[in-house]
Amino acid sequence: MAETQMLNYVSAIGAAINEEMRRDERVAMWGEDLVSMQGAYGENPGMFKEFGDRIKDTPIVEQAILGTGMGAALAGIRPIVWLMTAGFLTIAFEGLFMEVGGLRQEYGYAGPMPLVVYCRSGIGGGFGAHHCASTESLFMHSPGLKIVMPSTAYDAKGLMKTAIRDDEPVIYVGYGALYFGAKEPIPTEEYLIPFGKADIKREGKDITIVCYSGMVRKALAAAEELNKEGISVEVVDLRTLVPMDVAAIVKSVEKTGRLLIAHEAMKRAGAAGEIAFRVTEAAPDLVKSLKTPIKRLAAQNLAIPRSISLDAQLLPQVEDVIAIVKTMGFD
Amino acid sequence: MAIPKEKLLEMYRNLITARLLGDKLAEIFTTGVAGRTGLHRGTGEEAFPIAIQANLRKDDYLKLTFRMDFTLFAKGLLLRDVIGAEIFRDSSQFGGPRYRFFDPDNGLLAHTGAGGEEPPIYLGAAVAIMYKKTDQVCVCVMGDGFANRGPMHEAMVMSAAWNLPIVWVIHNNQYAMGTSVKKSYKIDDLADRAKAYGFPGETVDGNDVIASYEVMKKYIDRARNGGGPSLVVGETYRLMAHFMGDPQIYRPKGEAEEWWKKDSIPRYQKTLMDMGILTVEDIDKFQREIEAEIEEAATAALALPQASYENHLKTAIDEI
């Protein structure tokens, strides 16, 4: 049995950044309040001392934070830029969608641009759309952005290390409500998790739930309940939306014959539509032979209210997963 | 300190090259071999970018205004590759830039399709210089139009906060497409803006080669030596239309004629002749030599490969 240490989600991300900064002196990190508040992103106060100026505070200038990350990545640095929330990515939208995501391609440049754009979604707590919204589907539509959305501390660490070593731009979206959640045993030995490899978080035989980020936890809780009623749920965690492991979904659905796609982002033009179509294109005969049509569960098409009592009503919850699964031909 | 004679003559040759190259590009565009129309000509505004580049090394980072990109031979690009980039040829396999001057290994981080998004990206190069502890600098030249955009403001704020090795430059040619600078700015001296960011600002006659060289040298040396950012404004005038074919209904009668009187070339010729380092014979000789160089470069540029879709496909990150 390999040695492990107990880390929560945020500490796992911090550990990944620490390790990579020690490993490669080109890695640097900047953003708002990183140093001043020592922990905008993690519980690793020691690293601010250890790495000195390689972690820097910026003024509140999101377009400049994002753009400097891109320019530095083209000039030999491997930056991690901290944009705080997935909603704040929209402040730097042009830079992220068109320049980071597209400029290399406009110029046919396949050379390195190793940039990690790091933020959180799913913070909850009545903070409203800028702090809580899931914006990943906006950026899935950009031609050149990889999108990472881990659901566990283990994945969060391995995927952050891969993101930092990747030579292409990556948006890394942590899930806020998990940050200070339960500690998990994390191997002390180094590991990386490749992009484009989904993970079966729970095996089952009756229905496949494809999800990612915070929705995985809810799907697993629902699966536990459904199991008591004799419905065996397989939970497929995509881990990265771009690139997407369509083959893993197809393989799972070949076994279960049912597909539910669930995410916390808004339903309209959300990732679920894309996922369903990717599966249909990859395996049209499988989709034709499903026991029941593909369904999706997502946030309602409304902005996230600035009221703590309303957040939960808008976002899909465990009971919503249970309810929708029961409509998928288990009579 | 006096500018060395070699530097003065290098700038003279580059100035004449820019003027003749501008004419050659217009000819290429007019005949249709460019595969592109609507060249944004920069004739009459060459002196300022030539003087800027006379202070730069090939490994420094530089963004010019898109109109003045054709002067990038002064930073060390081959004339062939400059012409090639203007007409969508890709000289990257020969060590040149990709179409439209994208060449991160030689300090060119490209133009964004929405002009004015470049300052944060170029500031990133200055951040990289800070981390790598090299003595490179970054010079980011914006037109008077794009200099008003938000990204420039944020980048200037951050450059000051981090004391980064960048010189912000406004190439003020008095027009943003059809809009006069007088309609967009409520200050007469654009360099006044520097004060608000906490770094020095200075305006120079951008049609005066020596004055432009000296002012740029002061601030580029300052940035190179850890002195941080600054803002230089070069005053010039857009003698050409916004693009070839623009009827220029916005331009008051007689305005261009007044600026032709301030053209950099006769002024610089007189200065150099007064200094005794340029003769009438030299002027003719340089002209003939440069014309031949440009002809040869243009022929070579037209033979460069077109940008390839194969390269484009290599940039995909998931299924296409």
Query: What is the value of ipTM here, to two decimals?
Result: 0.96
- CATH (domain of A63): 3.40.50.970
- CATH (domain of A221): 3.40.50.920
Instruction: Indicate if A142 and A203 belong to the same structural domain.
Output: no
| Domain with A263 in it | 199-326
Residue A41 is predicted with a pLDDT of 58
DSSP B128-176: HHHHHT-S--EEEEEETTGGGSHHHHHHHHHHHHHT-SEEEEEEE-SEE
- Give the closest residue to A145 by CA, choosing from A229, A75, A204, A73: A73
Interface A–B counts its CB contacts (< 8 A) at 149
B253's tokens: 């009668």
Instruction: Indicate if A64 and A90 belong to the same structural domain.
Output: yes
| Distance in angstroms (rounded) separating the CA atoms of residues A121 and A243 | 19
Instruction: Indicate if A29 and A125 belong to the same structural domain.
Output: yes
Question: For residues B81 and B297, is the Cβ–Cβ distance under 8 A?
Answer: no
Q: What is the pLDDT along chain B (320 residues), one digit of tens a residue?
A: 699 999 999 999 999 999 999 999 999 999 888 777 788 999 999 999 999 999 999 999 999 999 999 999 999 999 999 999 999 888 988 888 887 889 998 999 978 888 999 999 999 999 999 999 999 999 999 999 999 999 999 999 999 999 999 999 999 999 999 999 999 999 999 999 999 999 999 999 999 999 999 999 999 999 999 999 999 999 999 999 999 889 999 999 999 999 999 999 999 999 999 999 999 999 999 999 999 999 999 999 999 998 888 888 989 998 88
Closest-CA distance of chain B to residue A107, Å: 6
Enumerate domains of chain B plus CATH numbers: 5-306 (3.40.50.970)
CB contact under 8 A, A68 and B155: yes
Closest-CA distance of chain B to residue A326, Å: 34
Instruction: Indicate if A313 and A284 belong to the same structural domain.
Output: yes
DSSP letter assigned to residue A99 = I
Instruction: Indicate if A183 and A259 belong to the same structural domain.
Output: no
Q: Is residue A194 part of a domain?
A: no
The chain-wide mean pLDDT, for chain A, equals 94
Instruction: Indicate if A179 and A257 belong to the same structural domain.
Output: no
Instruction: Indicate if A49 and A73 belong to the same structural domain.
Output: yes
Dihedral of the CA atoms B210, B213, B215, B216 (nearest 10)? 170
Residue B320 is predicted with a pLDDT of 83
Q: Is residue A88 part of a domain?
A: yes
Work out the end-to-end distance of chain B between its first and last CA atoms, rounded to an integer number of angstroms.
Answer: 58
Residue A309 is predicted with a pLDDT of 83
Question: For residues A210 and A236, is the Cβ–Cβ distance under 8 A?
Answer: yes
A263 an active-site residue? no
The residue out of A187, A220, A240 marking a domain boundary is A187
Q: Is residue A193 part of a domain?
A: no
Q: What is the pLDDT confidence band of residue A229, given thresholds at 50, 70 and 90?
A: very high
Provide φ and ψ at A210, rounded to 5°: -95, 130
Instruction: Indicate if A120 and A13 belong to the same structural domain.
Output: yes
Q: Which residues in chain A are contacts of B119 at CB distance < 8 A?
A: 64, 67
> Which residues pair with residue B235 across a beta bridge?
B172, B205
pLDDT beyond 60 at A109: yes
* Residue from B130, B315, B319 to probe the interface with A (highest A Cβ count within 10 Å): B315
Element (H, E) at A264: strand A259-266
Q: Is B157 on the interface with A (CB under 8 A)?
A: yes
Instruction: Indicate if A147 and A274 belong to the same structural domain.
Output: no
- Closest-CA residue in chain A for B310? A108
CB contact under 8 A, B117 and A95: yes
Q: Is B196 on the interface with A (CB under 8 A)?
A: no
Closest-CA distance of chain A to residue B113, Å: 9
Contacts of A140 (CB under 8 A, 6+ apart): A147, A241, A242, A271, A274
Q: Is residue A71 part of a domain?
A: yes
The residue out of A137, A154, A187 marking a domain boundary is A187
Dihedral of the CA atoms B246, B251, B253, B258 (nearest 10)? -100
| Distance in angstroms (rounded) separating the CA atoms of residues B47 and B236 | 9
Number of separate domains in chain A: 2
Q: Is residue A46 part of a domain?
A: yes
Q: Is residue A331 part of a domain?
A: no
For A38-86, what is each residue's pLDDT tens digit?
765 555 667 778 899 999 999 999 999 999 999 999 999 999 999 999 9
The residue annotated as part of the active site, out of A130, A131, A141, A263, is A131
Residue % of chain A over a pLDDT of 90: 82
Instruction: Indicate if A182 and A204 belong to the same structural domain.
Output: no
